[in-house]
Amino acid sequence: MRHSQDFLASCGLPSTDPRECPDSTKRFPDGGQYRIEIPSTEGPRSLAAVIEEAAARKVPVHRVSQGSGILLMTDSEIRDMLALGRQQGIEVNLFIGPRATFDTGAQAFSPAGKSLGLSLRGSDQLVFALEDVRRAVDLGLRSVLVSDLGILQLVARAKRSGYLPADLIIKTSVMMAPANPASARILEDLGADTINIPSDLTLPQIASIRAAVNAPIDFYVEAPDNIGGFIRHYEVPEFIRVAAPIYLKFGLRNSPDVYPAGTHLENTVVALSKERVRRAEIAMGMIARYMPGAVMSPLRAKDLGIPAEVSVGALG
């Protein structure tokens, strides 16, 4: 195996999964090792519930993310959600564009077609996705969630060209999660600002990805059932040690898949959001007991995609 290991090393990649799982020396720009993300925050009522529950439980929240998509939110709902995020200094991350599972194609639902994930089909869907980004950015959004390699590259190019704001955060979805350091490097090279990796990786496998990329890692401490249902709260201190800088995410085992959400599911979505905050409180207890020296990023960190206050129609 030595020749292949040497070739990986020549590419600047780890030549083996480091069994010793060395401490990560990488940090967020503010020096923090970890941040807290509450996923599946599907709209303003859900975000308000997260904020209220986090205050009651003394849980810091740096970022919330949404999965149903910008296209299924009204302008007023987006404005309300961004206003809450701006007031609280929380990054609001919204999923962009349509996706294969929303489209008319059947392959994404076939046993052999799962690899399509939430990719975009054809040029029209790339246009739709860019329109989703433009609309939300025009309303003040500064953090988008992508699940397709092509749109990742296009949004990154749009940032560099000035077509989209340079401070727009590009977060990659768990539905395109890289399982090895070479794949993670590709996402970073294409413009990913934070990278969601699979929730079933071992610590050595996580360490190999961390060695290959500088971007923050997003990681489901508790994964929803549809991506495995793993519950790894006791490993949180090791995740921080090995994978910093890391966003700790809290999905929910044994809960319904609410995508796409809407008013017909709003009470359920709000209840799930509150429980995710409770799960985060449990993890904070683990950190306090087993890694009290871990450094959390301050709230309202400067590099968070906190919504901007802009006038409607700012991008034309």
Q: How does DSSP classify residue 118? A: T
Task: Express each pLDDT in 18-72 by its tens digit.
Answer: 989 999 999 999 999 999 999 999 999 999 999 999 999 999 999 999 999 999 9
User: What span, in angstroms and rounded, lies between the C-alpha atoms of 86 and 255?
Assistant: 29
**pLDDT classification of 111: cutoffs 50, 70, 90:** low
312 pLDDT above the threshold of 80: no
314 pLDDT above the threshold of 90: no
For the chain, what are the domain ranges? 24-290
DSSP string of 129-185, one letter each residue: HHHHHHHHHHTT--EEEE--HHHHHHHHHHHHHTSS-TT-EEEE-GGG---SHHHHH
Distances (CA, A) of 65 to 16, 55, 80, 116, 169: 33, 18, 15, 22, 12
8 Å CB contact between 27 and 53:
no
DSSP string of 179-211, one letter each residue: -SHHHHHHHHHHT-SEEEPPTT--HHHHHHHHH
In this prediction the pTM is 0.93
Task: Express each pLDDT in 262-274 by its tens digit.
Answer: 889 999 999 999 9
pLDDT at 97: 78
Domain with residues 24-290, CATH architecture: Alpha-Beta Barrel (3.20)
Geometric angle at alpha carbon 25, from 289 and 152, rounded to 5°: 105
pLDDT at 24: 98
pLDDT at 99: 74
Task: Express each pLDDT in 134-162 by its tens digit.
Answer: 999 999 999 999 999 999 999 999 999 99
pLDDT at 119: 85
Which token pair is 60?
A: 């810091």
Task: Express each pLDDT in 206-250 by its tens digit.
Answer: 999 999 999 999 999 999 998 899 999 999 999 999 999 999 999
Closest CA to 67 of 171, 153, 192: 171
112 pLDDT above the threshold of 80: no
Mean pLDDT of 89-106: 82
pLDDT at 100: 64
**Cβ-defined contacts of 229-234 (< 8 Å, 24+):** 229/253, 229/254, 230/199, 230/200, 232/199, 233/279, 233/282, 233/283, 233/286, 234/286, 234/290
User: What span, in angstroms and rounded, lies between the C-alpha atoms of 227 and 177?
Assistant: 11
8 Å CB contact between 194 and 171:
yes
Mean pLDDT, the chain, integer: 93
User: What span, in angstroms and rounded, lies between the C-alpha atoms of 254 and 209?
Assistant: 29
